[in-house]
Every structure is written in structure tokens, then in C-alpha cells.
Amino acid sequence: MILTFWGKLFLPAATGKVLASELPKNGNERCTVLYPASEKASNEIEEGLSNRGFEVVRLNTYTTVSTAMLEPVHHVDQTVLKQALSTPVVAVASPSAVRSWVKLISESEQWSNSVACIGETTASAAKRLGLRNVYYPPHPGLEGWVDSILEALGAHKRI
């Protein structure tokens, strides 16, 4: 996605921290930014922008919840779980998806296949949770995510 600010093109960065440091500002004028976010999103963007002099209005527009919170999962079909555990690459698009996957695999045998993440934030969560073969694009998005999936599949074939 390319944005235009005051007649200048701006390609948003891959992480909230970098976005907050790079978002163009119109001189010394006080600029107001409406920041629609997940209720679970960190304060990294709003703090970074505020520190640079932006007035930030955060609007929590959605949240993510584990399906376990909605309806407890008491049993996972063992055939389906076995297929999931044998897949060479799991593709995830959010830290909450990584957490759900790790919770699922922690109840079974050790899993060491690859994870293809949509971006750096999701990849960082995967690494923090102990996943080792983590692939992600330099810029989040569908095209880069597909490239990461293909890279992970290629690495799997070489093993």
C-alpha cells in the first residue's frame, strides 16, 4: 500500500515501531492521527507518534478471541491433528494465530516444521513462543506472505 501525504508518496513500514518513526509530518503543525486498532494491539504506534508531536486518537475497532473462549475444545480429532502436525508449513497471519497453534501442538508430540508469517510482528511472536523455522517477508502483505510460504516449502524439500 502506498499513501500520499502533502503531495509526497509514502510506503508504510513493516512494523508499527518503524511506521511511527517514519510517518510524514507537515512541518511543526500539530497533526491528528486517527488510529483504528485491535483492542489487543500494543501502544507502540500511538506512543511513537505522540513522542513525535502527533495527536493520536486511538479507536479500538475490533478484538480477537480464541475459539476456546467462545466454545471450549475438549477434543481434537486425532486424524485431523495428525495431518496438521505432518504439514511441512503452517501459514499464520497474526500473533494470536501463532499462540493458538502453539497451544494446540504443545498438547501433542514435538513439532519442528516451518511457519510462514505474514510479517515481522507475527514472526517475532512465533520465535518468542519457541518456533524455530520461521519465515516472513521484509514487508507484510499477501504477496510477501506467499513468497515466504514458497521459501519455507523449498527449504523443507531440501532437508
pLDDT of residue 41: 83
Give the pLDDT score at 135: 96
**Which portions of the chain are predicted below pLDDT 50?**
1-4, 6
List CB contacts of 113: < 8 A, sequence separation 6 or more.
87, 88, 89, 90, 133, 156
pLDDT of residue 114: 92
CA distances from 119 to 32, 92, 106, 126 (A): 27, 9, 23, 11
Q: What are the phi and psi torsion angles at 9 (to 5°)?
A: -75, 145
pTM listed for this prediction: 0.59
Which pLDDT score is estimated for 107? 58
| pLDDT value of residue 137 | 93
User: What's the grid cell of residue 71?
Assistant: 466454545
pLDDT of the residue at 9: 60
